[in-house]
Amino acid sequence: MKLREQFPALAQRVHGKPLVYLDSAATSQKPRAVIEAVQRYYEQDNANVHRGVHALAERATAALEGARAKVQKFINAASPNEIVFVRGTTEAVNLVAHSFGPVRAGDEIVVTALEHHSNLVPWQRLCARTGAVLRVAPVDDRGELDLPALERLLGPRTRLLAAAHVSNAIGAINPVARICELARARGVRVLLDGAQAMPHLPVDMQALGCDFYAFSAHKLYGPMGAGVLYGRAELLEQMEPWQSGGEMVTSVSYEKATFQKPPYRFEAGTPDVGAAVGLGAAIGWLEQQDRRALAAHEQGLLQYGLALLRDVPGLRMVGAPRERIGILTFTMEGVHPHDVGTLLDQEGVAVRTGHLCAQPLLQRLGAPAVVRASLAAYSVRSDLEALASGLLRVRETFP
């Protein structure tokens, strides 16, 4: 079966037109292997985990811990205990922002100008609670990180550096290995937002040397409701729980509670086992693919798309990073991005519009609202041709 045919959602029609799905940076479509794995779990193995001795509870627990082991292997973490299941990247970042420390008045948190709000607002709130200071490493007119400026910001009061591996707004790939190297040399801890990187780039925790890495299943061809926080073991051991309740305790009295070791210390309550199973299936599906070939395929589509969009009158690309994934972000002169998205939808073309949860970056690049078309393994040239054709119709509507 051809790769694209493994994604049943792509076979549908929208407004009478074949679906052209160019919103994969928001959420990817799911291969049949993932859908069937989740269905099979709910049909056969559904039970609460870790607490039961009956057969279904044991199978559900094995499924959850099997998914944890798959994630560990996939990202080359040192131990399954470094893999914390969360709802997604946003929850992972918030967990660290609440539990990492101590952070005191006058300490500094450094972020980059490329960040999604989910890797910016939690640090703003941490600074507001503690009196710490937020520093922002700038980008140039291409949307590329100013690495020398970042290096200058890493000082003796810097406690943590939070950076996107890949920008969700313009697809820029940050030099994360160099960023981690600069931070380690100064004793600064690093959290990387890997939400956009995981579907497209190989990621190796032990080679990379970051302290925390966050990503979501639903952008990685898996289900919504599951995500991962990788944390270096010695740091997770030092961190206090964020949420409290069942499962994350070892003993409880009316006076006090004692807590489990990581990762369970950070997994209060009933986990979304079905979503974790789906994440494991998505990793299994991706491991069966030739990832180098997929990367080359996506890069070829990116260049093809850039060439097509150059011929659309009044279209301006936003951001021009030299190292990037398959994201095409643009504006059209005289047309609001929401109108562009609505008219494209009538042609069956799904794109993202607005500020992309990256308002500071887009303001820096002179485009408070944009249109974003994003690619995935299942994207094809005809998708981009339909996008370009639809944009020409938008231009006819708004001369």
Half-sphere exposure of 241 (CA within 13 A, CB side): 21
180 in active site: no
Half-sphere exposure of 195 (CA within 13 A, CB side): 30
Q: How far apart are CA 272 and CA 265, in angstroms?
A: 16
Q: Which amino acid belongs to residue 333?
A: E
The answer to whether the bond into 199 is cis (omega within 30° of 0) is no
Q: How far apart are CA 388 and CA 141, in angstroms?
A: 25
CA-based angle 201:351:39, to the nearest 5?
65
Q: How far apart are CA 285 and CA 34, in angstroms?
A: 8
The answer to whether the bond into 321 is cis (omega within 30° of 0) is no
Q: How far apart are CA 185 and CA 178, in angstroms?
A: 11
Q: How far apart are CA 217 and CA 276, in angstroms?
A: 8
Instruction: State how far the alpha carbon of 344 is from the alpha carbons of 177, 292, 383, 397, in Å.
Output: 38, 31, 12, 12
Q: Which of 127, 180, 210, 357 is catalytic?
A: 357
**205 near 228, Cβ under 8 Å?**
no
Q: Count CB-CB contacts under 10 A for residue 3.
A: 14
**216 near 197, Cβ under 8 Å?**
no
Q: Count CB-CB contacts under 10 A for residue 44.
A: 11
Q: How far apart are CA 80 and CA 69, in angstroms?
A: 6
Catalytic residues: 357
